[in-house]
Amino acid sequence: MIKLFITGSSRGIGRAIAEAACESGDIEVTGYARGEGISHPRYKHITIDLSNAAALAAFAFPRLKKGFEQIVLVNNAGSLGEIGRVGQLDAEVILQTVQVNLSAPLVLSNAFVRDYGNYPASRLMLHISTGAASNPYDGWSLYCSTKAGLDMLARVQDKELALRKDEWPVMVRAVAPGVVETAMQESLRAADPEQFSSKSKFVDLHEQGKLGKPARVAEQYLNIIRSLGEDAGSWPELISRIPAERP
């Protein structure tokens, strides 16, 4: 049996992962989000605003019953923030976006290793990355920079955890889902091209039917979780990307 904790579980990829996990039959899910979670016997929803510093400071994972073979944290919650160029961004939005995209994964990862340090099971921290972590887009300074920070977090955590001598391993991976049809894509297609010069690229991807489906991406992430639970050396690499969906 697998215990899965996932942030941003009320919509998009996070919701799709939570749904697919619950339907799999051998995964128990706890989701964290501001919005409502799914309705399923194997799902528990916890309402939390990850942009709230006080809520993050008080965060702790629940005590788990014995019997789980793998415990997984998926840091999925993310915000595009404000599409705008330097000198035009709102300071409050900057702080909120950094909090959700980078501070929250830092806090939750720290709590995950701390709270389950002695639990007798393999443990995995899976950060949802993006191609924007390594490709600069004008107007996306908030999203690109915080996601690049998330990738570096994975690298540092991987190095630190490799130095531990625990009997039960703690693995970390950052995996990008590719371009997926979510609310974020809708925001990009509605953006002002004066603030985002790559808008036409994402409009074309939508019109050509080249956006991935959240349900398919969710299944890919579950495959990753299972493969890493079975073999610490298996695919994917530390920083990787789910193969693009064929149109």
Residue type, 44: K
Catalytic status, residue 221: no
Q: How far is 66 from 244, CA to CA, in rounded Å?
A: 38
The residues that bridge with 44 in the sheet, in sequence order, are 30
The residues that bridge with 43 in the sheet, in sequence order, are 29
Catalytic residue among 32, 43, 116, 143: 143
Nearest to residue 145, comparing CAs of 135, 155, 159, 160? Answer: 135
Q: How far is 174 from 158, CA to CA, in rounded Å?
A: 10
Q: How far is 150 from 221, CA to CA, in rounded Å?
A: 17
Omega prior to 214 cis, within 30 of 0:
no
Nearest to residue 140, comparing CAs of 177, 101, 173? Answer: 101
Catalytic residues: 143
